[in-house]
C-alpha cells in the first residue's frame, strides 16, 4: 500500500441506470440524467449536494465537454468537473479519479455519469465509423482498420501462441448470454450455443458477430463521497473503493509490447496492492468484454488463471456461478448492453449491486469483494478498481 492510498476513504452510496438496449427518442444527455436521478434517489440525497461531476464522452452527442453540458442539463453548477477520455477504460478511471478528487479535497460528493445512444442516435455505419475514428489518422485509418480488428489480432495471436480455440472464445458469449437471461432489462436474453456463435458470420477473424459486443443506448450513474460523509448522510450499504490502478502501455497496436500480455497486469497489480487483496480473494468481477477473447486474456492478466490458460478456464466453468470467479453476471457488453464508453459503467452497477446483495436470482452468494476492469483502444488503456463491503475494510 502506498503512503497516499485512497483505500477505504471513499464510498459509492448511490447507483442508477437508465433503460438500456433500444431506447428510441432519448438523447445521450437524457440517458445520463435519467441514470443520475435514479442514483441520487438511491443515495437518498438531492442534486444540490453534488459538487463534482465526472463523465465520459458520447459518440452521439455533439458536446466537447459532456460533463459540463450534463451539469447544465441536470441543473447543477459543480465546482469540480471533467470529461475523461481513455476510451473503454474511462469508466474505471472515473472511479479512481473521483475517489482521488474526494481524498484531495477537490469535491465532497461526485457524480460519475455517462450516457450514449449508439443504437438509435447513430446509423450502424456511422456508429462503426465513429469507432474507426479513434484509430491513428495516418498509420491506421487509411487501411480501414476498425478497433475490432486490433482486438482481433491480439486474440488471433493468443490462439496461435497458446492453442486457445474458437469454441473457447464462443463459450464466453454463451455464458454471458445465460447471465443476461436473469438480468431485468438486458438487451439480449435469447439462449445461444457455441455453434450459434460459430455460425453467426465472420466479422474480423477470429471474431464472429456473436463474439462482438452489442450496440446499445443507455446510461449509468454513481454517487461517490467520503466514508465520513457517507455515514453523515446515513448511507445504506455503502460500497468502498479499496484500490485503483491504471496502465497505458502504448497508443498504436503495432507498438504494443506484446499482443498477448496487456497493461491489465500492471493496472491490476497496483489495484491489488492498494487494496491489500489478491485475485484469489475476489468474489465477483466485471471484466470489459468488447469481444469474447478480451475476457479470456483479462482472466489471465488480472491473475485469475495462469497466462495461456484462459480458454480452458472459461470452458471449465470458472467464470460463472460455482466457478472460481463469476464474471459479468449481468451479461456484460456482449449481452446486457454496450452504449460505447458508458458501457463499462454497467459492470460497476452490477458489481456494486452484487456486493450489496441486491441481485436476486443471479446473486453471487456472500459476495464481499469485487473487481471491475475497464479497457479500451486495442488494450492501449487499462484501468482496474477494487470494491468492497464494510467487512473488507
Residues lying near other proteins in the complex (CB under 8 A): 59-60, 62, 123, 125-126, 128-133, 137-146, 148-149, 152-154, 156-157, 160, 201-207, 252-255, 259
Of the pair 8, 340, the CB lying nearest other proteins is at 340
Of the pair 130, 189, the CB lying nearest other proteins is at 130
Of the pair 18, 149, the CB lying nearest other proteins is at 149
Of the pair 133, 195, the CB lying nearest other proteins is at 133
Task: Provide the minimum distance between the beta carbon of 132 and other proteins in the complex, in angstroms, as a whole number.
Answer: 4
Which conformational region is residue 80 in: left (phi greater than 0), alpha (psi within -120 to 50 degrees), or beta? Answer: beta
Contact 55, 83 (CB under 8 A): yes
Task: Provide the minimum distance between the beta carbon of 196 and other proteins in the complex, in angstroms, as a whole number.
Answer: 17
Task: Provide the minimum distance between the beta carbon of 146 and other proteins in the complex, in angstroms, as a whole number.
Answer: 3
Peptide bond into 206 cis (omega under 30): yes
Distances (CA, A) of 118 to 4, 124, 187, 214, 284: 39, 8, 13, 10, 28
Task: Provide the minimum distance between the beta carbon of 129 and other proteins in the complex, in angstroms, as a whole number.
Answer: 4
DSSP string, 10-32: EEEEEEEE---B--TT--HHHHH
Task: Provide the minimum distance between the beta carbon of 114 and other proteins in the complex, in angstroms, as a whole number.
Answer: 17
Burial of 3 (0-12, 13-18, 19+ CB in 10 A): exposed
DSSP label at residue 95: H
Burial of 4 (0-12, 13-18, 19+ CB in 10 A): exposed
Of the pair 2, 138, the CB lying nearest other proteins is at 138
DSSP label at residue 291: B
Q: Which grid coordinates are listed for 367?
A: 459476495
Task: Provide the minimum distance between the beta carbon of 200 and other proteins in the complex, in angstroms, as a whole number.
Answer: 11
Q: In whole angstroms, what is the distance from residue 294 CA to residue 282 CA?
A: 19
Of the pair 170, 175, the CB lying nearest other proteins is at 170
Amino acid at each position: 500500500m502506498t503512503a497516499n492510498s485512497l483505500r477505504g476513504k471513499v464510498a459509492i452510496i448511490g447507483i442508477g441506470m437508465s433503460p438500456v438496449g433500444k431506447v428510441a427518442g432519448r438523447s445521450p444527455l437524457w440517458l445520463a440524467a435519467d441514470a443520475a436521478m435514479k442514483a441520487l434517489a438511491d443515495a437518498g440525497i438531492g442534486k444540490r449536494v453534488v459538487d463534482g461531476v465526472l463523465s465520459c464522452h458520447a459518440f452521439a452527442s455533439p458536446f466537447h465537454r459532456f460533463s459540463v453540458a450534463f451539469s447544465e442539463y441536470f441543473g447543477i453548477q459543480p465546482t469540480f468537473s471533467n470529461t475523461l477520455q481513455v476510451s473503454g477504460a474511462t469508466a474505471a478511471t472515473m472511479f479512481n479519479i473521483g475517489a482521488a478528487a474526494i481524498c484531495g479535497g477537490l469535491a465532497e460528493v461526485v457524480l460519475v455519469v455517462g450516457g450514449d445512444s449508439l443504437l438509435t442516435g447513430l446509423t450502424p455505419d456511422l456508429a462503426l465509423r465513429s469507432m474507426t475514428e479513434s484509430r491513428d489518422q495516418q498509420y491506421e485509418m487509411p487501411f480501414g482498420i476498425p478497433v475490432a480488428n486490433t482486438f482481433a489480432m491480439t486474440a488471433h495471436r493468443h490462439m496461435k501462441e497458446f492453442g486457445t480455440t474458437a469454441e473457447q472464445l464462443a463459450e464466453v458469449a454463451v455464458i454471458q448470454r445465460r447471465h443476461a437471461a436473469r438480468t431485468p432489462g438486458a438487451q439480449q436474453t435469447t439462449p445461444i450455443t457455441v455453434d450459434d456463435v460459430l455460425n453467426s458470420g465472420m466479422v474480423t477473424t477470429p471474431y464472429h458477430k456473436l463474439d462482438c459486443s452489442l450496440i446499445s443506448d443507455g446510461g449509468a450513474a454513481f454517487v461517490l463521497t467520503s466514508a465520513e460523509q457517507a455515514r453523515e448522510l446515513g448511507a445504506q450499504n455503502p460500497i468502498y473503493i479499496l484500490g485503483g490502478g491504471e496502465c497505458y502501455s502504448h497508443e498504436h497496436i503495432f507498438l504494443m509490447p506484446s499482443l498477448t500480455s496487456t497493461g491489465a497486469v500492471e493496472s491490476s497489480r497496483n489495484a491489488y496492492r492498494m487494496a491489500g487483496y489478491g485475485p484469489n480473494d475476489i468474489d465477483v468481477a466485471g471484466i470489459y468484454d468488447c469481444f469474447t477473447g478480451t475476457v479470456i486474456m483479462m482472466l489471465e492478466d488480472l491473475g485469475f488463471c495462469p497466462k495461456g490458460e484462459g480458454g480452458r478456464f472459461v470452458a471449465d466453468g470458472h467464470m460463472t456461478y460455482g466457478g472460481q470467479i463469476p464474471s459479468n453476471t449481468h451479461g456484460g457488453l456482449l449481452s446486457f448492453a454496450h452504449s460505447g464508453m458508458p458501457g463499462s459503467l454497467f459492470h460497476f452497477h452490477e458489481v456494486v449491486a452484487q456486493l450489496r446483495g441486491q441481485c436476486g436470482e443471479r446473486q453471487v452468494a456472500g459476495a464481499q469483494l469485487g473487481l471491475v476492469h475497464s479497457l479500451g483502444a486495442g488494450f492501449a488503456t487499462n484501468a482496474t478498481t477494487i470494491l468492497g463491503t464494510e467487512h473488507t475494510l
